[in-house]
Amino acid sequence: MWFIDLMLAFSRWLESTPLAGFSVWVAASPLSTAINQNSWATPTTESVHILAIAAAFGSAMMINLRILGLAGRRQTILQVEERFSPWISWSLLILVATGVIIVLAEPAREMLSGWFWTKMGLVAFVALANLGFQASVRRHAARWEPGRQSVALRAGAGALIALWCVIMIFGRLIAYTGVA
């Protein structure tokens, strides 16, 4: 498939950049070797990473389902947003922290993967969209109520959930960068 070929070409290009040498340097650093000395460290960190995705994705689902009128209809959008948004923000922080440990543990696997950098771009976009959403809902809550929203808002709510799924798929595919 053309997209997989594109990602493979991206990965091969990354190998020709200074990132290749940098990843070797990180792998030899005391921090990286310390993480790898403990065989439990990486799977435990990845477990926390997945649990944080569950918290963020479950929360994002509830907010976007409310926008689409499919959940929490007895609550106002503002109530739903105020309950679930902090979970997304805190989860994103935990995701970055655990993500850094995972990169330190296996630098070449992540830094030389096209899937990884594309995922990082999408994560940055989702984080910004989340901030923009919070600001907009807090300022004009009424505009977000079902019946009054534009088609674009509803499409946006659906697209954001789809984007989270794409991010998870890319995250899993990092493990297969060298294969296929």
Partner 1 sequence: MALQNLWAALEASPLGDFVASSAWAFPAIESAHVIAIVTVVGTVGIMDLRLLGWAGKAWTVTEESDDTLKWTWGAFALATITGTLLFISKAHVYAREPWFLAKLVLFAAAAANMAVFHRQTWKRVSDWNAGFTPPRAAVIAGGLSLTIWILAIVCGRFIGFTLGQYE
Minimum distance of partner 1 from residue 18's CB (angstroms): 29
Query: 86 or 121, CB closer to partner 1?
Result: 86
CB 78 within 8 A of CB 8: no
How far apart are alpha carbons 55 and 87 in whole angstroms? 7
Query: 24 or 93, CB closer to partner 1?
Result: 93
In the complex, the residues that contact partner 1 under the rule CB under 8 A are 4, 39, 42-44, 46-47, 50-51, 53-59, 61-62, 65, 71-72, 74-75, 79, 83, 165, 168-169, 171-173, 175-176, 179-180
Task: Retrieve residue 159's tokens.
Answer: 């697209």
Q: Which strand (E) or helix (H) includes residue 89?
A: helix 77-105
Minimum distance of partner 1 from residue 22's CB (angstroms): 26
Q: Provide the residue type at 70 as one letter.
A: L
Inter-CA distances, 81 with 70, 136, 167, Å? 15, 11, 22
Query: 34 or 175, CB closer to partner 1?
Result: 175
Minimum distance of partner 1 from residue 63's CB (angstroms): 11
Query: 65 or 122, CB closer to partner 1?
Result: 65
40's CB contacts (< 8 A; 6+ apart) are none
